[in-house]
Structure 1
Amino acid sequence: MIGMPWPEWDRDILVSVNRLGSPQWDGAWSLATSIVAWTPLYLGLLYGVARSFSGKRRLAVVAVVLFTLAFTLLTTEIVKETVQRLRPVNDPVMLKQLRVVVLAPGYSFFSGHASNAAAITTLFILFMRKKLKWVCILCLWPLVFGLSRIYFAVHYPLDVFTGWLAGTGIALAVYFFMGRQLVDYAAYRETVANRK
């Protein structure tokens, strides 16, 4: 997979978006790309789960989210090490065309930020859609998170788009093949325990 051809449009879009950047916007986009900056969202999601589910079901939802996150991280790293696409800021050919603000180690394809954000968002929407009507607004999180990676030229658009697809796909698979059943089983166990 090393040295495989990548589409020209992918590089062109990256350069165009990166050149739109300016020092006035760098601070806001730095905040958008920081995992720490999104901590209030994570805490809010956990609070929503705590309020919406009882004991065993709450633990089941958190377990499914943690499993999905770990699986997504592992999948992303395996693909990155297999494909070994250089990040734009680490590619000597691309570097001449870019406005470099941040540097990042490792490989580019596909974006872990995008895949993880998409996976968590998809799961919370699936689990919370009947309990919180506004939960679909969470889709803004992976969108902004992913675009920030392109803005700083640490990922190509194709890396981010593939990350969104991979994270969403993994979350859907986990939810439909394991997550729902685990939460239903937890609800059943609560019912049995309450009868005693």
Structure 2
Amino acid sequence: MTIRLQELDESLFLLLNNLTSDISNHFWALVTKPLFWSPLFVLFFVLFFVTFKRKTALIYSAGIITSFWGVYAITYIVKVIVERPRPLFNEQLIQQVNVLYEPTGFSFFSGHASTSTAAAIFFYMVFRTKSQWAKLVFLFPLIFATSRIFVGVHYPSDILVGGTVGLIFGSICYTVFQKLNEKYTEDKLNS
């Protein structure tokens, strides 16, 4: 069963990875870079401070930072323990992989998927009642994480598991920091 899942993962990877063209290669090579998304994170913090009072904005800012860096640490630890080689280092696939980026490290699970999903879910949970546009934040992890298949460095299962871990960790962080914010608001009302 495990071998069959691995074969399915490799086949799906090759199918998706080889769908690219010269034009789309430029797009995927650009959107896979974390620096490309920096303005989005600046926007997150600006929206926190424009929408909420200073203390609440600080709490939410700390929450999104915690969700991002906390899941990053978990991802790193799992990668070191599992040591799954990236597709571009798979001897059976190397001749078929469209490689646009050559990172070091291991494949399982995707840090791009886990961190972007954690940040997106945290942001969404904060703003879901404030704006109907909040759900657009999920385009970020969708594009950012998917790019890792198209640049040749992650299997679909790496993306799926990374996204799932990010969803869980981001939701937990939101719950914790929302309780902190409620406690702060309650304490302020009682003083």
TM bin (shorter chain): over 0.9
Does structure 2 conserve the Cα–Cα contact (< 8 Å) formed by 1:102 and 1:152? yes
CA contact (8 A) 2:99 2:153 kept: no
Determine helix, strand or coil for the equivalent of 1:181: helix
Does structure 2 retain, via aligned residues, the 8 Å contact 1:89–1:104? no
| Preserved CA contact (<8 Å) 1:13 1:157 | yes
Preserved contact between residue 115 and residue 165 of structure 1 (Cα < 8 Å): yes
- 1:187 corresponds to: 185
CA distance in 1, matches of 2:132, 2:16: 33
Letter in 2 for 1:19: N
1:56 corresponds to which residue?
55
Cα deviation code 1:125-174 (max 9, x no counterpart): 11111222210011111111111000111000000011110000111122
Secondary structure of the equivalent of 2:18? helix
Q: TM-score, normalised by structure 2?
A: 0.93
Count matched residues.
189
**In structure 2, how many angstroms separate the alpha carbons of the residues matched to 1:70 and 1:99?**
30
- CA drift of 1:75 comes to 0.6
SS at match of 1:21: coil
Quick check: 1:154 aligned with 2:160? Answer: no
Structure 2 segments unaligned to the other structure (5+ residues): none
Question: Do 1:56 and 1:187's aligned partners in 2 also have CA atoms closer than 8 Å?
Answer: no
Asked if residue 117 in structure 1 is aligned to residue 119 in structure 2, the reply is: no
Indicate whether 1:29 and 2:28 are aligned. yes
Cross-structure match for 1:98: 97
Matched, 1:164 2:163: yes
Q: Which deviations, in whole Å up to 9, do the C-alpha atoms of 1:85-141 show, x marking residues without a partner?
A: 000112222212212222111000000000000000000011111222210011111
Task: Say if 1:56 and 1:190, in contact at 8 Å, map to a contact too.
Answer: no
How far apart in 2 are the matches of 1:190 and 1:50? 19
Q: Which letter maps to 1:188? A: E
Pairwise CA RMSD: 1.5
Q: CA deviation at 1:190?
A: 4.2
> Partner letter of residue 32 of structure 1?
V
Identity %: 29
What letter matches 1:124 in structure 2?
Answer: F
Compute the displacement of 1:10 (Å): 0.6
Code of the aligned partner of 2:21: S
Q: Distance in 2 between matches of 1:115 and 1:99?
A: 23
TM-score (structure 1 length as normaliser): 0.90
